[in-house]
A and B are shown apart, each in its own frame.
Chain A
Amino acid sequence: MSGGMQIQETAGLRFRQRLGQIGAELRSNPTFLAGTIIVLLFLFLAAVGPYITPHDPLAFDFRARFSPPSSSHLFGTDDYGRDVLSRVITGARISMLLALYSTIFCLLVGTVLGLIAGYFGGWADEILMRLMDTLLSIPALLLGLLIVASLGRGLTNVMLAVGVVYSPRIARVVRGQVLAIKEEQFILAARSQGESSLYIMAREILPNVAGPLIVEASLRMGFAILLQTSLSFLGMGFSPPTPDWGLMVNEARYFIFDAPWTLIFPAIAIGLTITGFNLFGDGIRVALDPTRVRVSRGEE
């Protein structure tokens, strides 16, 4: 019994020491800092959005259709005379909430499946990985489209679609990590102590998987916004008049020549949040493991 405690303490100590190093590393990383500022800005908008919008994002004003940016409408107005700034701010809540929910969904589902597959191996691994392969082999956007088309539009269903699309990717990361440390001394020791599988997975393996998981999660947030806005752009995310960024870009394409501000501001918001999450995640990745370099494709 005491031996097990000893090992656990050591693992905990190592982890805490590493945290200090990582913190120092992050503070001096301009990429990470830029990402953090952007992410915090949009999180702030998402949190207080409804209280700070200068106008009602849904209110029509037919006399003020297509007003260019001015002091009363900083981002101008759209075809119904709605205030674009208010809509972009309100849209932040939708996108951030969606990114957050779907990433939590992926993390829960992906981690559990990845842990089971990696730790138990054998048939459980075989079955789960075939299922993950299956979902991974359907192009992300098509899978998302199919799910939303059959369940219907709206926050919950889009969240579910994004979650299902990205869970297998998390599961793979977790499984890989588990395989890498499964045979390490402290795990073998805990196992020989007769600890339950659940205990080992939760207390020994999970903390060691946490690093890559955080990196993956922050990158997934960016991808979640990418996928969600793409779905909305195709008319498969939210119904009008929801102030969703993808939908706003889609609707604004009609007026781009006469009222380019209706397209440009939501487009900037989309690009900026995704960049923010990517920089944020990259910064953490570099801090955790400076030798690894990010190599990823767009829209994965």
Chain B
Amino acid sequence: MIARLIARRAINLVITLFLISLIVFAVTQLLPGDVAQMILGPYATPDNLAVLRTRLGLDRPAMAQYLEWLSGFLVGDWGPSFTMNRPTRDLLLPPLSRSLELAGLALLGVVVVGIPLGILAGLKENSVVDHLISVVSYSGISVPAFVAGSLFILLFAGLLRVLPGSGYVPISRGLWPWLRHLILPAATTMLMLLDYVIRMTRVGVVEVMKSKYIRTARLKGLPLAYIIRRHVLRNALLPTVTVLAMNMGWLVGSMVIVEMVFAYPGIGRAIVSAITTRDLPVVQAGVLLLALITCLSTLAADVAYAFLNPKIRYT
């Protein structure tokens, strides 16, 4: 059953990726502006432009360019970047790993902050605390990341001057320098997920607390703290954490604006700047890569769900 599900999903995945490659290639062909002129800028002379166009293969028909690009992508040769004079892979894979660093830290923060708040809200259902938590987490999804991020920069970097408002330092240059640069962007990313996690945890806790065996345990006189640790946490957390981990793909794709606001060298920013500089190979491979990650994590989430809850049927 699960093997069939995976096989079916794998076929769908291949079809989806093929369609994405078509769509992305078509869209990049539509981008206005002459790539060669964009790269060389106002200094360019006509013969410079011609040389560059030939070198980039822009003078060939679109179909030939597409086929060559696709076959290259499949074997891991993503071709050279138009503007950066290096392989596209080198411009996408390191930023991807930096985006994963940021996403990982944000997920960690969400778990550390969101789950206790969710448990609290669930235990005190419909109390003032519950409503307060709800209002705060609500603002998290109602305030766009670019507004929240800008305000964080102003507050923590501009006024208090305690954290850097932009940039990235590799962990090889020290744990603290690395972490300092990640805190504000990770906090902004957290806001996008916090409401989700708090609500999921809250629902789980409310359900478990109402269940027969918890009522029995309470009747038996077991202390509340013990019940929470032994029963509530375990039953309420599993789905939350599983789903969270599987959201990694979505999260990496949604961090684009956070990376822009904080000048964080992640994959989203790499793709956006490639769009503005008309670095088509980077745009094409980058979008395809993000889509692949999204699809894979969705697939993983579905499989995990099927394991956790065999009643779910997939059509």
Query: What is A's interface to B at a CB cutoff of 8 Å?
Result: 130-131, 133-142, 145-147, 149-152, 179, 222, 226, 229-230, 233-234, 246, 249-250, 253, 256-257, 263, 267, 270-271, 274-275, 278, 293-299
List 20 A-B residue pairs with CB atoms under 8 Å apart, sorted by A's residue number: A130-B12, A134-B291, A135-B23, A137-B298, A141-B256, A145-B256, A146-B24, A150-B31, A226-B144, A233-B146, A234-B272, A267-B150, A270-B143, A271-B147, A296-B141, A297-B195, A297-B250, A298-B191, A298-B196, A299-B141
Residues 114-140 of B, flagged 1 when their CB comes within 8 A of A and 0 if not, give: 000000000000000000000000111
Are B146 and A141 closer than 8 Å at their CB atoms?
Answer: no
13 extra interchain contacts, Cβ-Cβ under 8 A, other than A135-B23, A271-B139, A271-B147? A133-B295, A134-B16, A137-B295, A139-B250, A249-B147, A249-B150, A267-B143, A271-B143, A275-B142, A295-B200, A298-B254, A299-B141, A299-B254
Query: Whole-angstrom distance between the alpha carbons of A241 and B92 in the complex?
Result: 35
Candidates B147, B250, B272; contact of A267 at CB < 8 Å:
B147
B297 shortest CB reach to chain A, Å: 10
The 5 closest A-B pairs by CB, nearest first: A139-B253, A298-B192, A298-B141, A150-B30, A275-B142
Are B192 and A141 closer than 8 Å at their CB atoms?
Answer: no
B315 shortest CB reach to chain A, Å: 7
Are A141 and B30 closer than 8 Å at their CB atoms?
Answer: no
Candidates A130, A274, A297; contact of B142 at CB < 8 Å:
A274
* Residue B294 lies at the interface, judged by CB distance under 8 Å to chain A: yes
Query: Which residue of the partner chain B has the closest CB to A148?
Result: B275
Prevailing SS type, chain A contact patch: helix
Query: Whole-angstrom distance between the alpha carbons of A137 and B249 in the complex?
Result: 9
Query: Whole-angstrom distance between the alpha carbons of A294 and B253 in the complex?
Result: 22
Query: Whole-angstrom distance between the alpha carbons of A298 and B233 in the complex?
Result: 25
CB neighbours of B27 from chain A (8 A): 146-147, 150
CB neighbours of A152 from chain B (8 A): 32
CB neighbours of B298 from chain A (8 A): 137
Tell me the residues in window 174-221 of chain B with beta carbons closer than 8 Å to chain A beta carbons.
Answer: 191-193, 195-196, 199-200, 203
CB neighbours of A146 from chain B (8 A): 24, 27-28, 275, 283, 287
CB neighbours of B12 from chain A (8 A): 130, 133
CB neighbours of B144 from chain A (8 A): 226, 229-230, 233, 270-271, 274, 299
B190 shortest CB reach to chain A, Å: 10
* Residue B36 lies at the interface, judged by CB distance under 8 Å to chain A: no
Tell me the residues in window 250-281 of chain B with beta carbons closer than 8 Å to chain A beta carbons.
Answer: 250, 253-254, 256-257, 260, 268, 271-272, 275-276
Query: Which residue of the partner chain A has the closest CB to B202?
Result: A293
User: How many residues on B have C-beta within 8 angstroms of the other chain's C-beta atoms?
Assistant: 54
* Residue B170 lies at the interface, judged by CB distance under 8 Å to chain A: no
A125 shortest CB reach to chain B, Å: 9
**Number of A-B contacts defined by CB within 8 Å:** 149
CB neighbours of A130 from chain B (8 A): 12, 15-16, 19
Are A145 and B294 closer than 8 Å at their CB atoms?
Answer: no
A223 shortest CB reach to chain B, Å: 10
Candidates A139, A230, A256; contact of B146 at CB < 8 Å:
A230
CB neighbours of A275 from chain B (8 A): 138-139, 142
Query: Which residue of the partner chain A has the closest CB to B191?
Result: A298
Query: What is B's interface to A at a CB cutoff of 8 Å?
Result: 12, 15-16, 19-20, 23-24, 27-28, 30-32, 138-147, 150-151, 154, 158, 191-193, 195-196, 199-200, 203, 247, 250, 253-254, 256-257, 260, 268, 271-272, 275-276, 283, 287, 290-291, 294-295, 298, 315
Query: Which residue of the partner chain A has the closest CB to B22?
Result: A134
Query: Whole-angstrom distance between the alpha carbons of A250 and B193 in the complex?
Result: 24
- Contacts A133-B12, A134-B16; A295 near B291 (Cβ below 8 A): no
A21 shortest CB reach to chain B, Å: 22
Query: Whole-angstrom distance between the alpha carbons of A134 and B206 in the complex?
Result: 36
Candidates A133, A142, A150, A222; contact of B290 at CB < 8 Å:
A142
CB neighbours of B154 from chain A (8 A): 256-257
Query: Which residue of the partner chain A has the closest CB to B243?
Result: A295
Query: Whole-angstrom distance between the alpha carbons of A275 and B151 in the complex?
Result: 18
Are B31 and A149 closer than 8 Å at their CB atoms?
Answer: yes
Query: Which residue of the partner chain B has the closest CB to A253?
Result: B150
Query: Whole-angstrom distance between the alpha carbons of A294 and B143 in the complex?
Result: 18
B244 shortest CB reach to chain A, Å: 10
B15 shortest CB reach to chain A, Å: 5
CB neighbours of A229 from chain B (8 A): 144, 146
Are B196 and A297 closer than 8 Å at their CB atoms?
Answer: yes
Candidates A131, A137, A150, A270; contact of B294 at CB < 8 Å:
A137
CB neighbours of A233 from chain B (8 A): 144, 146, 257
Query: Whole-angstrom distance between the alpha carbons of A278 and B151 in the complex?
Result: 22
Query: Which residue of the partner chain B has the closest CB to A146?
Result: B27
Are A138 and B287 closer than 8 Å at their CB atoms?
Answer: yes
Are A142 and B268 closer than 8 Å at their CB atoms?
Answer: yes
Are A150 and B32 closer than 8 Å at their CB atoms?
Answer: yes
Query: Whole-angstrom distance between the alpha carbons of A135 and B19 in the complex?
Result: 9
B231 shortest CB reach to chain A, Å: 21
Query: Whole-angstrom distance between the alpha carbons of A233 and B287 in the complex?
Result: 21
CB neighbours of B291 from chain A (8 A): 134, 137-138
A135 shortest CB reach to chain B, Å: 8
CB neighbours of B200 from chain A (8 A): 295
Query: Whole-angstrom distance between the alpha carbons of A118 and B16 in the complex?
Result: 19
CB neighbours of A271 from chain B (8 A): 139, 142-144, 147
Query: Whole-angstrom distance between the alpha carbons of A198 and B187 in the complex?
Result: 50
